[in-house]
Amino acid sequence: MRAHRDDAHARSHEEDAVTETMTGAQILVQALEEAGVELIFGMPGGTILPAYDPLMDSTRLRHILVRHEQDAGHAAAGYATATGRPGVCMATSGPGATNLVTPLCDAAMDSVPVVAVTGQVIRPLLGTDAFQEADICGITQGITKHNWLVRSAVDIPRAIAEAFHVATTGRPGPVLVDIPKDVLQEHAPYVRPERIDLPGVPQTPRPHPRSLTQAAAALRAAKRPVLYAGGGIIKADAAGELMTFAELTGIPVVTTLMARGAFPRSHQQNLGMPGMHGTVPAVTALQQADLVLALGARFDDRVTGDPKTFARHARIVHADIDPAEIGKNRAVDIPIVGDARDVLTGLIEAVRQIGGPTPWPASGPWWDAIEALRAAHPMTYDRPADGSLAPQQVIERIGQLAGPDATYVSGVGQHQMWASHYLPLERPRSFLNSGGAGTMGYALPAAMGAKLAHPDTIVWAIDGDGCFQMTCRTLATCTVEGIAIKVAVINNSGLGMVRQLQSLFFDDRHFGVDCSTPQLPDFAALGEAYGGVGLRCDHAEDLDATIRKAMEINDVPVVIDFRVNQQEMVWPMIAAGASNDDIRIARDTAPTWDADY
């Protein structure tokens, strides 16, 4: 009788244990919920399908069905860039997973925290070239901070927790978690990780006080200092500290493409964007500086041009959260490893400890020379006499009517450069673009992610006709989900930046760049076909009315076909690999630097 009771008791415990287990798919959904995820951009397929069943029942996770996995990755990046929180995307195995490669590479280049979850073939088929098998962990090893192949359902919570930790610790970036289908189907208890212990992922170091003191002293002694602000300022939410430090010291500021908005465009100390298509004051100030204070920037080739001639007179103070970046592209005199906000906070204190009146270089030959450059070489463009549209005019007017409170997302090419110069970028996270990878097709899905992040904010996608055709299917998702982005197609009937390069460096021999005509495709009709509103504008007199009409529509996406001059080029320009000394403001026209400081 006692044995019978013991057997019954044992069976009862086993039954309780079974009722406490979950499928791997249920574990995945709960782990994502506990990570604070709100949105998942994804597309189902065979191996990830088990995860979609419990996802349907979740009251905390909203799934956004994209029409291509690349859109899921860019949308996750847009959400992450707009909020500073990780964006999440999901795909099936094989081609579904490999379609995430481009957005993961893009996120890696621009330090964007993206968590990708992919399905994989069942464990017994791994390595057999099974249907829709791809070694996505091997494929993405070089473009993610880390990736995981989860071989047991019980390990899913730990893998997800570690993925979010790695994506957001130190220099942000993308990660990937690959889960075989049978792992999603097996039962296991939910084992919540008590702590994240990853010895290979160092904690963000605090900047060394001695380095901060040395940097402040070097800045105090400099006669021609420049603050070179990169995207790390925005990643660290350090725009307020940047403003305090810049105004305290009086130092001229240049903001890279990835840092646009980190320092208000309208601020008197902002010289604009440096580099290949930078402003004359920004480029020349860096070339003539005797001290460059680089914060959260990486001295990439689009900024430095020929590295041997970049800022050749300057001592370099380089502060970055990633020690691998310091000294990688340019020798450094004073290295500082740390988060940009911590660095700026420390520099502000070090400057105040030096004492004396501030700002330091508020007047004198250096600022006089800069102001002379600014007066001689403002960012301007010519408006066509026949009343047709200049692309700069379209972008500038959108910015004036939408204002600095809007969020702007650009594609890649000429329109990206014009957007960086002519939009009212007054606040951080107001300008999203693909900087390091230069990914055409980025704008629409990233704008969708940004709009979902901030539903009450006006979001404009500034796109080219070439870029737009790569991801225009995003409009279907936007219509179905009620995501009312505005899309300005700067339609110059071709691949504008490639055409410009052929004009300048290939004797005007144009080939492979006419990807559309003003009539094919009909972008306004395409907007209507996807359930949105399509508009067209090709005359300056209709510009304001068209933009205002688009801004009145707030329930579906709007596509505006702005037909602009095909021959317009982006100026200033420095040829790839050339010295920044060779900046041109038009064909065969260079600025002069005659100031004596």
Known catalytic residues are 69, 131-132, 181, 497
Pairing type for strands 558-563 and 486-491 reads: parallel
Closest to 452 (Cα-Cα) out of 424, 480, 490, 472: 480
Report CA torsion sign: 431, 432, 436, 438: negative
Q: Please report, to the nearest 10 degrees, the dihedral formed by the alpha carbons of residues 582, 584, 589, 593 taken in order.
A: -60
Kindly state the tokens that stand for 44. 């189902």
Pairing type for strands 21-23 and 187-189 reads: antiparallel
DSSP 3-state assignment of 413?
A: coil
Kindly list the distances between the CA atom of residue 307 and the CA atoms of 225, 259, 295, 302, 592, in Å, as whole numbers in the listed order. Answer: 19, 21, 18, 10, 21
d(CA 229, CA 255): 5
Residues 6+ apart with CB under 8 A from 222: 289, 290, 291, 315, 361
- Helix, strand and coil content of the chain, in percent to the nearest 5, comes to 40, 15, 40
Determine the residue type at 59.
T
Outline where 188-290 has alpha helix (H).
209-221, 232-235, 239-249, 280-288
d(CA 130, CA 123): 11
Question: If phi over 0 gives left and psi between -120 and 50 gives alpha, with beta otherwise, what is residue 312?
Answer: alpha
Kindly state the tokens that stand for 225. 């200092």
CB count within 10 Å of CB 59 equals 6
CB count within 10 Å of CB 39 equals 18
Outline where 250-331 has alpha helix (H).
280-288, 301-304
Strand partners, 177: 117, 148
